Amino acid sequence: MKEDSIKTIGIKEESREEALLTYVIEVEGLTDILDKDFLEWSNFDSWENIAVQQWIFARALEVYRGKKIDIRCGCCEYINCLKNDFKKINNQECYGIKSAYMIEKVLGEIVLAAAKRESDGTYSA
């Protein structure tokens, strides 16, 4: 998994040639979830929309399997950052950056679960 596996792009930006392009606004119900308070939308397990959870999980699996994805936010013309910066995610407005945050969060859980399976169910630091 590479650092540039997930990139958020604005409406007027070009997608990377080697990346799968996804559109946040095409995922019915995702923006409704991301419009909620940070504590609510950042708690993936509390989402009631299973289809949206599956979309996030599928993107995380794609990255885990080595693919690059570009997330077109649909709300910004340009995303002015080289990589996703989640330091101020609780005040973030961009749907693409919020989606990337959730994908990376779920990806972290996938990586942890894989490591657990490989070590016979025990965690090692």
What percentage of residues in the chain have a pLDDT greater than 90?
Answer: 74
Tell me the pLDDT band of 13, cut-offs 50, 70 and 90. Answer: very high
In a domain, 47, yes or no: yes
> How far, in whole angstroms, is CA 17 from its chain's centroid?
19
**Domain count along the chain:** 1
Radius of gyration of the chain (CA): 15
In a domain, 89, yes or no: yes
Provide the domain limits for residue 72.
Answer: 6-118
> Does residue 85 contact residue 8 with C-beta atoms inside 8 Å?
no
Residues in contact with 57: Cβ distance below 8 Å, sequence separation at least 6, in sequence order:
106
- Rounded to whole angstroms, the Cα distance separating 119 from 125 reads 11
pLDDT digits (tens, 9 = 90+) for 15-70: 999 999 999 999 999 999 999 999 999 999 999 999 999 999 999 999 999 999 99
In a domain, 125, yes or no: no
Give me 113's structure tokens. 């679960």
DSSP tag of 74: S
